[in-house]
Structure 1
Amino acid sequence: MHFSFCSLLIFFGAFLAVAVTTCTCRALGSLDFTELDIDFTELDVGHCDRSEALCSQQDLPSLLAWHRACRRNEEIVKPLLIQTYNGILGHFVDDVEGFLEMLTYYHAVITREAALAFFLRVERAVSVAVIKKEGWGIERELEDKFNLTHLREDNTRSNSAIPMDEHEHCFFLPSGTTIILFVSVTNSLLQPVAARRALMACMNYFNAGSFGCDYPALTLRRVTFKPDIESLTACQEIDLKAHLNVLEGKYGFAAASSDISTLVPVGAATTTPQGTPLPGVLAGLTPCLRTQYLCPRQEHFFGDGGSLVDFFDMSGDTVECVQRDRCAPFGPAAVWRLTGYYEAYSQPWNGYMDSPVCNEVHQ
Structure 2
Amino acid sequence: MCFPFSTLPPLLRVHPEIAGMFADKMDILSLSNWRSTCRINYAHGSSSLRRTLTSRLRAFVPYPLDFIDLVTTRGGIFGGELALSFVLRTGTFRPSILEIYSSNFCYEKLCEAILDDPAIRVRIEKHTFFTSTLFHALHRLVASTLIIHLANGMSIHVIQSYTCSPFAPISRAPCTALSNFVTAYSFGCSHPVLTLSRRALLADKELAYFSPSDSATLDRLLSHEFAMAVSPSAWPEYRRMFENNQLWSPEDCWREKFVCPNQGRFFGDKGSLVGYFDPLGGDEEKCIKYNVAPFGPMVIWRLMTTFECDDGCEYLDEVMDQGVTSIPVLFRKDPFGELHDCISDWFTPTAPLYRHTRRPRAYSM
Q: Aligned-residue CA RMSD in angstroms? A: 3.1
| Deviation at residue 105 of structure 1 after TM alignment | 1.3
Aligned length: 305
1:355 equivalenced with 2:324 (yes/no): yes
Q: What is the correspondence of 1:51-62 to structure 2 with a 5 Å cutoff?
A: 51-62=19-30
Q: Which residue of 2 aligns with 1:334?
A: 299
For 1:183, what is the secondary structure of its paired residue?
Answer: strand
| Deviation at residue 166 of structure 1 after TM alignment | 4.0
User: CA 1:233–1:324 in 2, change beyond 3 Å: closer, same or farther?
Assistant: closer
| Deviation at residue 264 of structure 1 after TM alignment | 4.7
Q: Structure 2: state its 5+ residue gaps.
A: 307-317, 333-365
Out of 243, 253, 256, the residue aligned to residue 229 of structure 2 is 256
Contact 2:203 2:230 in 1 (8 A): yes
Out of 192, 208, 220, the residue aligned to residue 216 of structure 1 is 192
| Deviation at residue 50 of structure 1 after TM alignment | 2.4
Q: What is the correspondence of 1:137-148 to structure 2 with a 5 Å cutoff?
A: 137-145=109-117, 146-147=120-121, 148=124
Contact 2:300 2:328 in 1 (8 A): yes
In the alignment, the residues of structure 1 paired with residue 209 and residue 116 of structure 2 have an alpha-carbon distance, to the nearest angstrom, of: 36
User: CA 1:75–1:235 in 2, change beyond 3 Å: closer, same or farther?
Assistant: closer
In the alignment, the residues of structure 2 paired with residue 120 and residue 202 of structure 1 have an alpha-carbon distance, to the nearest angstrom, of: 11
Contact 1:223 1:263 in 2 (8 A): no
In the alignment, the residues of structure 2 paired with residue 217 and residue 115 of structure 1 have an alpha-carbon distance, to the nearest angstrom, of: 16
Q: Deviations over 1:100-130 (max 9, x none)?
A: 1101210211100110111112432311011
User: CA 1:91–1:157 in 2, change beyond 3 Å: closer, same or farther?
Assistant: farther
In the alignment, the residues of structure 2 paired with residue 91 and residue 237 of structure 1 have an alpha-carbon distance, to the nearest angstrom, of: 24
For 2:157, what is the secondary structure of its paired residue?
Answer: strand
User: Which AA in structure 1 matches 2:111?
Assistant: E
Q: Which residue of 2 aligns with 1:87?
A: 55
Q: Deviations over 1:129-150 (max 9, x none)?
A: 1122211111111111121442
Contact 2:78 2:181 in 1 (8 A): yes
User: Which AA in structure 2 matches 1:354?
Assistant: G
Out of 167, 176, 184, the residue aligned to residue 161 of structure 2 is 184
Identity of aligned residues (%): 26
| Deviation at residue 185 of structure 1 after TM alignment | 2.1
Contact 1:303 1:329 in 2 (8 A): yes
Q: Deviations over 1:205-242 (max 9, x none)?
A: 102111000000000111011245xx566565987654
Q: Deviations over 1:231-263 (max 9, x none)?
A: 5665659876543311111x2211122243635
| Deviation at residue 69 of structure 1 after TM alignment | 2.8
Q: Which residue of 1 aligns with 2:220?
A: 246
In the alignment, the residues of structure 1 paired with residue 192 and residue 247 of structure 2 have an alpha-carbon distance, to the nearest angstrom, of: 27
| Deviation at residue 165 of structure 1 after TM alignment | 3.6
1:126 equivalenced with 2:98 (yes/no): yes
In the alignment, the residues of structure 2 paired with residue 235 and residue 103 of structure 1 have an alpha-carbon distance, to the nearest angstrom, of: 28
User: CA 1:172–1:295 in 2, change beyond 3 Å: closer, same or farther?
Assistant: same
Q: Which residue of 2 aligns with 1:48?
A: 16
In the alignment, the residues of structure 1 paired with residue 292 and residue 197 of structure 2 have an alpha-carbon distance, to the nearest angstrom, of: 28
Q: Deviations over 1:256-295 (max 9, x none)?
A: 22243635579xxxxxxxxxxxx99786698621111110
1:99 equivalenced with 2:67 (yes/no): yes
Q: Structure 1: state its 5+ residue gaps.
A: 1-15, 29-39, 267-278, 342-348
User: Which AA in structure 1 matches 2:109?
Assistant: G
Q: What is the correspondence of 1:150-229 to structure 2 with a 5 Å cutoff?
A: 150-156=127-133, 162=139, 164-196=141-173, 198-227=174-203
Task: With the length of structure 2 as denominator, give the TM-score of the two structures.
Answer: 0.74
User: Which AA in structure 1 matches 2:50?
Assistant: I
